[in-house]
Amino acid sequence: MATSVFSKRQRLDGSLASRNIAVIGAGPGGLASAMLLAHAGANVTLYEKGDRVGGRSSAIEMEGFRFDTGPTFFLYPQIIREIFDRCGFDFDAMVKLDRLQHLYDLVFEGGPKLALTTDPEGLEREISKISPRDAKQVRRFLNDNKGKFERFIAPLQRPFNSVFDLFKPDMLRALPVLSPFSSIDKDLSRYFEDPRTRLAFSFQSKYLGMSPYRCPSLFTILSFMEHEFGIFHPRGGTEAVMKAMAEAATSMGVRIKLNTPVQAVSTKDGKAQGVETSEGFVPVDAVVVNGDFARTISKLLPNKSRAKWNDETIATKKFSCSTFMMYLGLRGTMPEKAHHTIFLSSDYENNFAEIEDGKQLSSRASLYIQNACVTDPGQAPEGCTALYVLMPVGNLRADGLEWDDTATAMARQIVFQRLRDAGFGDIEERIMVEKTITPLQWQEEHDVHRGAVFNLAHSLGQMLHRRPHNRFEDVDGVYLAGGGTHPGSGLPVIFEGARISTDMLIADLARAPAAQPDLHPPSLTLIPECTSSRA
Backbone angles phi, psi at 371, to 5 degrees: -115, 70
pTM, entire model: 0.92
**Domain 3-57+72-96+237-316+458-530 matches domain 321-450 at the CATH topology level:** no
| pLDDT band at residue 526 under the 50/70/90 scheme | very low
Higher pLDDT, 8 or 368: 368
Domain boundaries, the chain: 3-57+72-96+237-316+458-530, 132-225, 321-450
pLDDT at 512 over 80: no
Burial of 355 (0-12, 13-18, 19+ CB in 10 A): buried
Cα 139 to Cα 103, 143, 334, distances in angstroms: 18, 6, 33
Whether CATH 3.30.519 fits 321-450:
yes
As separate numbers, helices (DSSP H) first and strands (DSSP E) second, the chain gives 18, 20
The full length of the chain comes to 535
CA distance 296 to 318: 17
Task: Express each pLDDT in 334-378 by its tens digit.
Answer: 999 999 999 999 988 889 889 998 999 999 999 999 999 999 999
The rounded Cα 164 to chain-centroid distance in angstroms is: 28
Q: Helix crossing, 491-511 with 28-39: angle to 10°?
A: 40
Give CA–CA dist 333/449, Å, rounded: 36
Q: What mean pLDDT is predicted for residues 500-514?
A: 89
Torsional class of 55: left (φ above 0), alpha (ψ -120 to 50), beta (otherwise): left
pLDDT of 80 reads 98
Lowest mean pLDDT among 2-16, 119-133, 217-231, 307-321: 2-16
12 pLDDT tier (thresholds 50, 70, 90): low
Fold annotation for 3-57+72-96+237-316+458-530:
FAD/NAD(P)-binding domain (3.50.50)
Q: pLDDT exceeding 90 applies to what percent of the chain?
A: 81
